[in-house]
Amino acid sequence: MGIKLVPYKVSVKKQDPLFDAKRRKLLSLAAIGSGAAVLGGLSWLYQKNNQHNRGTLIGNSVGFNKQFHSVVADWQGHPLFRIPLPERAHGVAISQLSRMGFSDAVAFARRPGSYFQVFDYKTGDIKQLIQAEPNRHFYGHGVFSLDGRYLLATQGVKETSQGLIGVYDVSDNYKKIDEWHGIGIGPHEIIRLNNGSYAVGVGGVHTNGREPLNLDTMRPSLTRLDISGNITSQVGLEDKRLSIRHLGYDQHDLILCGQQYRGEPDDYPSLIAMQRGDEELMPLNAEPEEWAMFKHYIASIAVVDDYVLATSPPGNCYGIWSISKNKLLELNPLPDASGVVAHQGHFFVSSGSGEVVNRSPFDAIQRHNSTVRWDNHWNAIPL
């Protein structure tokens, strides 16, 4: 049953207990506790009983005792298949059956990652497990080319974090056949645009494991590539401590990029910027105290018409902006707010507490408990 949202300044306060990190962990454990453990033990039963159902969403999950999965679910977040993973994963690339002729999905290890796992999102069948070369690692994201011939993955050189795009031949069991270089240090998310070209969020951070080493010399950028990997534009933000990481797309030519702020802990700059064509990046507006709620990190971004929804797991919240007005319209609490996708005029938002929110940009909110501890990202399975 839908409920009417109140304006964000009424519904969210700085002292809201949902924004306390310790309480967030307790809420997550209480909300999913025994349910997630039972589900993990009966994953084969879910797969058997739902083998003829059609999944609509894919995301990665974090389980107890370091159990990690990719999960194919329905629109309410109820799992149909659970694919075991060797380590924690981050993003997922999904093929388009109607155009590409196959139904593969690929889960990428969380940076600095050592693998990607291929599986069939229609059947749940596990396919190739591809390991990174000894001197390479994955950055957690990838995408299929428009024709489905290639899988492109963001990667880095271990010693230097110099970024590259690994090119894998789908028809040859995902054998690596090429690398695209020159995009900068620490590329994170890559997306495909409607004309077959690509956009990459380049974080600019050289790391040892996950420890940053070059915060004083970062050079993040939003980089556009043509279908052959040539750089067509590369723009940055005025504040070089804003590491560009996650991307959203309005299916026309507007790209939204979400940042992780690596500067002073008491500074709260805008964490989202937008670019149309080869124009400069324009930050989305909110007050510093509102940006403070996002705890310096944007996880996922989706666009519905004139509206952008962005999540923050450490901030336990999501916000909704009007693009044309460049204005924050709502700021709402959601424990461990994680992935978001857009579908038929609605946002679908996941959380690490298992809660799933289905809502329009204005109202008509529905909430479901999926029993899945969703991680940072969610993807809609294309028709």
**11-34 tens-digit pLDDT:** 333 333 333 333 333 333 333 233
Structure tokens at 357: 């929110």
pLDDT band, residue 66 (cuts 50/70/90): confident
**139-380: which CATH number, 3.10.20.30, 2.130.10.10, 2.40.50.140, 3.30.450.40?**
2.130.10.10
Helix, strand, coil % in the chain, rounded to nearest 5: 15, 45, 40
Provide the residue ranges of all domains of the chain, joining segments of one domain with +.
139-380
Residue-level pLDDT at 53: 56
Cis before residue 112, ω within 30 degrees of 0? Answer: yes
Compute the distance between CA of residue 13 and CA of residue 286 in angstroms, rounded to an integer.
Answer: 15
Compute the distance between CA of residue 53 and CA of residue 201 in angstroms, rounded to an integer.
Answer: 35
Compute the distance between CA of residue 272 and CA of residue 242 in angstroms, rounded to an integer.
Answer: 10
Residue-level pLDDT at 211: 83
pLDDT at 172 over 60: yes
Compute the distance between CA of residue 109 and CA of residue 306 in angstroms, rounded to an integer.
Answer: 33
Rg value, the chain, Cα: 19
DSSP code, position 132: P
pTM here is: 0.85
User: pLDDT tens digits, residue range 106-135?
Assistant: 999 998 999 999 999 999 999 999 999 999
The answer to whether 219 and 236 have CB atoms below 8 angstroms apart is yes
The residue count of the chain comes to: 383
Compute the distance between CA of residue 20 and CA of residue 356 in angstroms, rounded to an integer.
Answer: 20
